[in-house]
Protein backbone atom coordinates (compact mmCIF):
# COMPACT_ATOMS: atom_id res chain seq x y z
CA UNK A 1 0.00 0.00 0.00
CA UNK A 2 1.13 3.55 -0.59
CA UNK A 3 -0.15 6.78 0.96
CA UNK A 4 0.87 10.41 0.76
CA UNK A 5 0.48 12.47 3.96
CA UNK A 6 0.67 16.22 3.54
CA UNK A 7 1.07 17.01 7.25
CA UNK A 8 1.56 15.33 10.61
CA UNK A 9 -2.16 14.97 11.18
CA UNK A 10 -2.50 13.16 7.87
CA UNK A 11 0.30 10.77 8.86
CA UNK A 12 -1.58 10.00 12.06
CA UNK A 13 -4.77 9.45 10.05
CA UNK A 14 -2.99 6.94 7.78
CA UNK A 15 -1.78 5.08 10.88
CA UNK A 16 -5.29 5.08 12.34
CA UNK A 17 -6.65 3.46 9.20
CA UNK A 18 -3.70 1.04 9.07
CA UNK A 19 -4.11 -0.16 12.66
CA UNK A 20 -7.81 -0.85 12.28
CA UNK A 21 -6.97 -3.96 10.27
CA UNK A 22 -4.33 -5.33 12.66
CA UNK A 23 -4.95 -8.37 14.78
CA UNK A 24 -3.38 -9.14 18.15
CA UNK A 25 0.33 -9.99 18.09
CA UNK A 26 1.18 -7.91 15.03
CA UNK A 27 4.56 -6.23 14.89
CA UNK A 28 4.88 -2.96 12.98
CA UNK A 29 8.48 -2.34 11.90
CA UNK A 30 9.01 1.35 11.14
CA UNK A 31 11.76 2.61 8.88
CA UNK A 32 12.63 6.18 7.92
CA UNK A 33 15.12 8.96 8.50
CA UNK A 34 15.12 11.16 11.57
CA UNK A 35 12.03 13.36 11.35
CA UNK A 36 10.34 11.18 8.75
CA UNK A 37 7.30 10.76 11.00
CA UNK A 38 7.75 7.38 12.66
CA UNK A 39 6.70 8.70 16.06
CA UNK A 40 3.78 10.58 14.48
CA UNK A 41 2.73 7.29 12.91
CA UNK A 42 2.84 5.59 16.34
CA UNK A 43 0.63 8.40 17.70
CA UNK A 44 -1.89 7.41 15.06
CA UNK A 45 -1.58 3.73 15.97
CA UNK A 46 -2.38 4.53 19.61
CA UNK A 47 -5.28 6.80 18.66
CA UNK A 48 -6.61 4.22 16.21
CA UNK A 49 -6.59 1.57 18.91
CA UNK A 50 -8.61 3.97 21.04
CA UNK A 51 -5.95 4.88 23.58
CA UNK A 52 -5.74 8.45 24.82
CA UNK A 53 -2.22 7.90 26.18
CA UNK A 54 0.40 10.50 25.30
CA UNK A 55 2.88 9.01 22.83
CA UNK A 56 6.50 10.11 23.11
CA UNK A 57 9.78 8.74 21.81
CA UNK A 58 10.99 5.89 24.02
CA UNK A 59 14.54 7.16 24.11
CA UNK A 60 15.85 6.30 27.57
CA UNK A 61 13.24 3.85 28.79
CA UNK A 62 13.38 2.03 25.43
CA UNK A 63 9.82 0.71 25.67
CA UNK A 64 6.61 2.61 26.26
CA UNK A 65 3.27 0.93 26.84
CA UNK A 66 0.00 2.62 25.90
CA UNK A 67 -3.18 1.19 27.32
CA UNK A 68 -6.85 2.00 27.29
CA UNK A 69 -7.41 0.94 23.70
CA UNK A 70 -8.66 -2.16 21.92
CA UNK A 71 -5.21 -3.72 22.42
CA UNK A 72 -2.15 -2.57 24.35
CA UNK A 73 0.48 -0.90 22.20
CA UNK A 74 4.19 -1.43 22.89
CA UNK A 75 6.40 1.26 21.44
CA UNK A 76 10.11 0.56 21.00
CA UNK A 77 12.89 2.50 19.34
CA UNK A 78 16.15 0.90 18.22
CA UNK A 79 17.81 4.27 17.53
CA UNK A 80 19.84 4.51 20.71
CA UNK A 81 20.64 0.85 21.07
CA UNK A 82 24.33 0.26 20.57
CA UNK A 83 24.11 -3.51 20.59
CA UNK A 84 21.62 -6.28 20.28
CA UNK A 85 22.47 -7.40 23.84
CA UNK A 86 20.47 -4.43 25.11
CA UNK A 87 17.40 -5.93 23.46
CA UNK A 88 17.83 -9.02 25.62
CA UNK A 89 18.30 -6.87 28.72
CA UNK A 90 14.96 -5.14 28.18
CA UNK A 91 13.24 -8.43 27.36
CA UNK A 92 12.41 -7.43 23.79
CA UNK A 93 11.37 -10.90 22.64
CA UNK A 94 9.02 -11.22 25.57
CA UNK A 95 7.17 -8.07 24.43
CA UNK A 96 6.79 -9.54 20.96
CA UNK A 97 4.85 -12.46 22.38
CA UNK A 98 2.51 -10.33 24.47
CA UNK A 99 -1.12 -10.00 23.39
CA UNK A 100 -0.87 -6.54 21.91
CA UNK A 101 0.61 -4.61 19.02
CA UNK A 102 4.33 -3.78 18.89
CA UNK A 103 5.62 -0.76 16.98
CA UNK A 104 9.39 -0.59 16.52
CA UNK A 105 11.07 2.60 15.27
CA UNK A 106 14.37 2.13 13.42
CA UNK A 107 13.55 -1.59 13.08
CA UNK A 108 16.08 -1.81 10.25
CA UNK A 109 18.92 -1.37 12.76
CA UNK A 110 18.42 -4.94 14.00
CA UNK A 111 16.22 -6.48 11.31
CA UNK A 112 17.13 -10.03 12.35
CA UNK A 113 15.28 -9.41 15.63
CA UNK A 114 12.02 -8.54 13.86
CA UNK A 115 9.66 -11.50 13.34
CA UNK A 116 9.06 -12.62 9.78
CA UNK A 117 5.35 -11.85 10.04
CA UNK A 118 5.96 -8.19 10.87
CA UNK A 119 4.58 -5.46 8.63
CA UNK A 120 7.35 -3.14 7.46
CA UNK A 121 6.27 0.48 7.10
CA UNK A 122 8.61 2.91 5.37
CA UNK A 123 8.23 6.68 5.72
CA UNK A 124 10.14 8.99 3.45
CA UNK A 125 10.26 12.75 3.20
CA UNK A 126 9.10 14.25 -0.08
CA UNK A 127 8.62 17.89 -1.10
CA UNK A 128 6.55 20.38 0.90
CA UNK A 129 6.68 18.35 4.12
CA UNK A 130 4.86 15.52 2.42
CA UNK A 131 5.58 12.02 3.59
CA UNK A 132 5.35 8.92 1.49
CA UNK A 133 4.16 6.00 3.59
CA UNK A 134 4.51 2.50 2.18
CA UNK A 135 3.84 -0.95 3.58
N1 LIG B 1 3.52 14.88 6.57
C2 LIG B 1 4.11 14.77 7.78
N3 LIG B 1 4.04 13.61 8.45
C4 LIG B 1 4.66 13.45 9.64
N5 LIG B 1 5.36 14.43 10.27
C6 LIG B 1 5.43 15.62 9.65
C7 LIG B 1 4.82 15.85 8.40
N8 LIG B 1 5.09 17.12 8.03
C9 LIG B 1 5.81 17.65 9.02
N10 LIG B 1 6.02 16.77 10.00
C11 LIG B 1 6.83 17.00 11.20
O12 LIG B 1 7.96 16.15 11.14
C13 LIG B 1 8.30 15.70 12.43
C14 LIG B 1 8.27 14.19 12.47
O15 LIG B 1 8.80 13.82 13.69
P16 LIG B 1 8.78 12.35 14.26
O17 LIG B 1 7.46 11.71 14.06
O18 LIG B 1 9.30 12.45 15.66
O19 LIG B 1 9.86 11.63 13.31
P20 LIG B 1 10.71 10.32 13.57
O21 LIG B 1 10.10 9.58 14.72
O22 LIG B 1 10.64 9.57 12.27
O23 LIG B 1 12.11 10.77 13.86
C24 LIG B 1 7.29 16.31 13.39
O25 LIG B 1 7.85 17.47 13.94
C26 LIG B 1 6.12 16.63 12.50
O27 LIG B 1 5.34 17.71 12.98
MG1 LIG C 1 10.84 8.82 16.49
**Angle at Cα 7 formed by Cα 135 and Cα 48, nearest 5°?**
55
Report in angstroms the alpha-carbon separations of 81 from 7, 35, 38, 88, 89.
29, 18, 17, 11, 11
Q: What is the pLDDT of residues 1-33, one digit of tens each?
A: 999 999 999 999 999 999 999 999 999 999 999
Q: Tell me the per-residue pLDDT of 29-80, one tens digit each, with 9 for 90 and over.
A: 999 999 999 999 999 999 999 999 999 998 777 899 999 999 999 999 999 8
Ligand approaching nearest to the C-alpha of 34: 1
Q: Pick from 28, 30, 27, 51: which is nearest to 39 by CA?
A: 30
Q: What is the pLDDT of residues 86-98, one digit of tens each?
A: 999 989 999 999 9
- Residue 79 CA to residue 32 CA, distance in Å, equals 11
Its pTM stands at 0.97
Taken in order of first residue, the domains within the chain and their CATH numbers are 2-134 (3.40.50.300)
pLDDT per position as a tens digit, 93-120: 999 999 999 999 999 999 999 999 999 9
Q: Is 8 in the pocket of ligand 1 (CB under 6 A)?
A: yes
Question: What is the position in ligand 1's atom list of the atom closest to the CA of 40?
Answer: 17
Amino acid sequence: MKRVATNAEATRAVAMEFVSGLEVGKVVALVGDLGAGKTEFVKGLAAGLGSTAVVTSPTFTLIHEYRGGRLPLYHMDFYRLSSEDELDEIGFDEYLSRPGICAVEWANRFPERIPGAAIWVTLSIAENNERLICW
